Amino acid sequence: MKLKINGIIMAILISAVFSAVAFAGVSAGSKAPDFTGTDSDGLTRSLSEYKGKYVVLEWLNYECPFVRKHYNSGNMQSLQRHYASKDVIWLSIISSAQGNQGFMTPKQASKFKNVELSQSTALLLDVSGTIGRLYGAKTTPHMFIIDPQGTLVYQGAIDTIATTDPGDIDKAQNYVRSVLDALIAGEEVVPFSTKSYGCSVKY
Amino acid sequence: MVIAKNLVFKSVFCKCVLVVAILVTSKVSVYAGEAEAYVANARVRLLTEAQAIQPGSTFWVGLEMAMDDHWHSYWKNSGDSGMPTRIEWHLPPGFEAGPVHWPNPVRMDYQEDLTSYVLGETFLLLSEIKAPQDLDEGNVPVHATIKWLSCKDICVPGQTELSLLLPVNEKAPQVDEEVRARFMAVRERWPVFDSKWEITAQQQKDAFTIHLMPPNDFTGQLTHLQFFPYRNDVIDHAAQQFFQKDQQGYQLTCVKSVLLDPGEAIDRLEGVFVADRSWVSDENRLGHWAQIGLRDDQL
């Protein structure tokens, strides 16, 4: 008991020292850290509740032209819908701070999720940016794919053409598709990262 | 979309067709012949010093971008976010456009460990265009599709078509002296490409250590240095780069990108070093290009 308390104090001290460098980041191949957040309907969601499933994390800022590229074209929603039918959990996460671009109130987010556009499992409102910093989310979009064992298999760009032009979607190789299709088919995917592209996350 | 490529004909009859074609295409084509546009918080325009094109010669075309106050656009490697400005040339057969020459980038740190590489509020991107020897009289359209991202705290994508129409002239062409002077001033601030500086590097598990040895006749000194790689997946853009003077010259340490595995070796580093002082005495050259070979046995 004493050891455990000391451990906690140590952790607090260390995190205080490193709070200026609070951008953890998760490298491909390592265990995806657990997190808890509130979704657009006010429900609490944790990564750990999805153990045993494939999970996609999608960093979102609906005002960013790179995000609009994939939403206005229907590309993102069709990915979300397709992989929902394969029992993949899809969490869209907004880490914009209040007053910054992309921020949504719960009411706006709920409308966005349920009525307008998003086909994701849940839309998490990470206003404090805790989940974003934990994962090292730099851009919108920034994609993370976690396997049923909890390993981060992929993080990075949504596809291979880093532009705002929806015309480039069909020309690009979609990393989310490539990785999920291979994993679901039982093929081995060596964990890898690519450089994500998009607007900076507005913490 | 009509691309006006085939406007240079050989016969008189065809020249009449040429005139008609220009009139027709300028009505229906997206390439309406404008050299200037204001799009996405930027005033963009094409400039050239050449007032005519001499067959077989080369001439320079500049894309000038003047951003609205506090807006910026991105360098060749945009860093952690953003999108580099791209120029797609549409030229008649036989013409070739060289690569874009970039001004020195500027490091822009956002909060939370995000760094991008941007350009100043007004700048010129120059490209050299080569005209074929076999070129008849007439007018040559030089079209460009420009795509970029304008950002302040939010981002707006920009895209526009710009064009110039230049007459062909066998004789050495007259030059617009004002534009020529501007282009020369831009060239004088380009990174140094060829010098007697010795730049080498080693790659370690987590970082690259770069050694820079000045030539014997270098009388200046550098007090600050930043390396801007061409690739966006080799260094951690947001990390501080550690600069120090050593016995041979200078040393710069750059943290490796998380996209490189600790054991992963790359064969070279290429990019631009930007200092606060000139690399060449008596000039104002703050940038130095380098392509540095790396051994893989140092990890």
Q: How confident is the model at residue B112 (pLDDT cuts 50, 70, 90)?
A: low
Tell whether the model's pLDDT for residue B290 goes beyond 90: yes
* List of chain B residues whose C-beta atoms are within 8 Å of the C-beta of residue A201: 112, 114
* pLDDT value of position A7: 46
DSSP percent split of chain B into helix, strand, coil, nearest 5: 10, 45, 45
∠ CA(B86), CA(B64), CA(B107), 5° rounding? 65
Tell whether the model's pLDDT for residue B8 goes beyond 70: no
> A200 to chain B nearest CA, in Å?
5
DSSP percent split of chain A into helix, strand, coil, nearest 5: 35, 20, 45
Q: What mean pLDDT, rounded, does chain B reach?
A: 88
* pLDDT value of position A116: 65
Q: Among residues of chain B, what percentage have pLDDT more than 70?
A: 88
Query: Which of B155, B238, B258 lies nearest to residue A65, judging by beta carbons?
Result: B155
Tell whether the model's pLDDT for residue B4 goes beyond 70: no
What token pair was written down for A168?
Answer: 């480039």
Q: Look at residues B88, B91, B294, B49 and name the one whose alpha carbon lies nearest to residue B185.
A: B49
> B70 to chain A nearest CA, in Å?
17
> What are A's interface residues with B at a Cβ cutoff of 8 A?
21-23, 25, 27, 63-66, 100-101, 129, 133, 136, 138-139, 156, 162-165, 193-195, 197-203
* List of chain A residues whose C-beta atoms are within 8 Å of the C-beta of residue B206: none
Q: How confident is the model at residue B282 (pLDDT cuts 50, 70, 90)?
A: confident
Distance CA B255, CA B257 (A): 7
CB count in 10 Å sphere of residue A194: 18
* DSSP string for B233-264: SSB-TTSPPEEEE-SSSEEEEEEBPTTS-TT-
Tell whether the model's pLDDT for residue B264 goes beyond 90: no
* pLDDT value of position B299: 67
* pLDDT value of position B33: 66
Given a cut of 70, the residues of chain A with pLDDT beneath it are: 1-22, 116-117
* List of chain A residues whose C-beta atoms are within 8 Å of the C-beta of residue B233: 194-195
Q: What's the per-residue H, E or C state across B162-203?
A: EEEEEEECCCCCCECHHHHHHHHHHHCCCCECCCCCEEEEEE
* pLDDT value of position B242: 97
B279: left (phi over 0), alpha (psi -120 to 50) or beta: alpha
Kindly determine whether residue B110 and residue A156, on different chains, have CB atoms separated by under 8 Å: no
- Nearest residue in chain A measured CA to CA from B234: A195
∠ CA(A123), CA(A124), CA(A126), 5° rounding? 145
Kindly determine whether residue B113 and residue A136, on different chains, have CB atoms separated by under 8 Å: yes
**Pairing outcome for strands A55-59 and B74-79:** unpaired
Distance CA B156, CA B147 (A): 11
**Beta-sheet strand order (sheet of B155-167):** B86-90, B139-151, B155-167
Q: Look at residues A85, A108, A88, A93 and name the one whose alpha carbon lies nearest to residue A179.
A: A88
Kindly determine whether residue B81 and residue A27, on different chains, have CB atoms separated by under 8 Å: no
* List of chain A residues whose C-beta atoms are within 8 Å of the C-beta of residue B259: 156, 193-195
Q: Look at residues A157, A176, A70, A162 and name the one whose alpha carbon lies nearest to residue B82.
A: A162
> A43 to chain B nearest CA, in Å?
27
* List of chain B residues whose C-beta atoms are within 8 Å of the C-beta of residue A202: 153
Query: Which of B81, B157, B232 lies nearest to residue A200, judging by beta carbons?
Result: B81
Tell whether the model's pLDDT for residue B257 goes beyond 70: yes
* pLDDT value of position B295: 86
* pLDDT value of position B25: 39
* pLDDT value of position B205: 87
* pLDDT value of position B283: 87
Task: Please check whether residue A54 is in contact with residue A121, taking contact to mean a CB–CB distance below 8 angstroms.
Answer: no
Tell whether the model's pLDDT for residue B196 goes beyond 50: yes
Tell whether the model's pLDDT for residue B97 goes beyond 90: yes
Residues B16-57 have pLDDT tens digits of 444 444 444 333 333 446 899 999 999 999 999 999 999 999
- Nearest residue in chain A measured CA to CA from B260: A193
Residues B203-238 have pLDDT tens digits of 988 899 999 999 999 988 999 999 999 999 999 999
Indicate the pTM of the whole model.
0.84
Query: Which of B110, B159, B233 lies nearest to residue A200, judging by beta carbons?
Result: B110
> What are B's interface residues with A at a Cβ cutoff of 8 A?
80-83, 110-114, 116, 147, 149, 151, 153-157, 159, 232-233, 238, 258-259
Interface test with B, best of A195, A196, A203 (most B CBs within 10 A): A195
Kindly determine whether residue B112 and residue A197, on different chains, have CB atoms separated by under 8 Å: no
**Pairing outcome for strands A152-156 and A192-193:** parallel
Residues B135-155 have pLDDT tens digits of 988 999 999 999 999 999 899
Q: How confident is the model at residue B14 (pLDDT cuts 50, 70, 90)?
A: very low
* pLDDT value of position B153: 87
